[in-house]
Amino acid sequence: MNRWITQSLPILALLALSTGAMAAGGEAHHATFAEVGSKIGFHAFNLLILIALIVWLAGGKIKDALASRSTGIRVELESAAKAKADAKERFDALQARLDSLDAQITGMRAEAEAAAELERAAIEARAERDAAMLRENAQRSIRDEATRARAELRREAVGLAIELAGQQLRSQITTERQAGLTNQFLASVDNSNGANNG
């Protein structure tokens, strides 16, 4: 507090001088240096008494106000430091989460690619199995159709052969020979009936 008073004295002296000069300038006659000096001294003395009185009466309150202000500034600085530390901690946590999120995305991408590769391999295997089954079914159908066609051709060939044989037999067998064959057939039937009855 004494330092404040010491620093304030030159300013107060200048103010007192200017007050004295203004008062002297307003008078009709010019004051001497001694008169001006005594007036300045008087005003300076009055000012010092006033300042001392203010310091004596309000010194404790001023000290308390300055101490309170100093404490408030300290508390605000501590609060700001704590808020800064909290913000840095939150930033570090978010940065860590972002870094882990990048790693998770990379892992998920790798898993998706692996799953897609497995699915592609499974689809190719199914397609190959289906194609092999279709080939096998087609070959079986071809074999079955070929077998049916051969059987049909055989039947037609047998039918044609029988028809040709019948035509040849008809052309070669005369009426008499037919009668002889018929009699021979009937005789063999009679013989077989007689053997069965005997």
CA distance 184 to 195: 16
Identify which of 189, 101, 151 has the alpha carbon closest to the alpha carbon of residue 159.
151
Count of helices and strands (H, E) across the chain: 3, 0
Does residue 2 belong to any structural domain of this protein? yes
Q: How many domains does the chain have?
A: 1
Does residue 161 belong to any structural domain of this protein? no
Q: Left, alpha or beta for 29 (phi > 0: left; psi -120 to 50: alpha)? A: beta
User: Quick one: pLDDT band at residue 174, thresholds 50, 70, 90?
Assistant: low
Does residue 75 belong to any structural domain of this protein? no
Does residue 195 belong to any structural domain of this protein? no
User: Quick one: pLDDT band at residue 15, thresholds 50, 70, 90?
Assistant: low
pTM, entire model = 0.33
**Cα-trace Rg, the chain:** 69
Which amino acid makes up residue 97?
R
What pLDDT, in 10s, does the model give residues 53-92? Answer: 877 777 777 778 888 888 989 999 999 999 999 999 999 9
Q: Which of 8-12, 31-35, 85-89, 159-163 has the lowest mean pLDDT?
A: 8-12
Does residue 23 belong to any structural domain of this protein? yes
Helix, strand and coil content of the chain, in percent to the nearest 5, comes to 95, 0, 5
Does residue 137 belong to any structural domain of this protein? no
Q: What is the mean pLDDT of residues 182-189?
A: 80
User: Quick one: pLDDT band at residue 3, thresholds 50, 70, 90?
Assistant: low
What pLDDT, in 10s, does the model give residues 116-162? Answer: 999 999 999 998 999 899 999 889 999 998 899 888 888 888 888 88
pLDDT of residue 51: 83
Does residue 184 belong to any structural domain of this protein? no
Average pLDDT for the chain: 79
With a CB cutoff of 8 Å and minimum separation 6, the contacts of 1 are 55, 59, 62, 63
Q: Left, alpha or beta for 174 (phi > 0: left; psi -120 to 50: alpha)? A: beta
pLDDT of residue 82: 92
Between CA 56 and CA 61, with CA 58 as vertex, the angle to 5 degrees is 130
Does residue 170 belong to any structural domain of this protein? no
**Which residue is it, tokens 């404040």?**
4
Q: Is the pLDDT of residue 12 over 60?
A: no
Kindly state the tokens that stand for 15.
């103010």
CA distance 135 to 142: 10
Parent domain of 43: 1-57
pLDDT of residue 14: 55
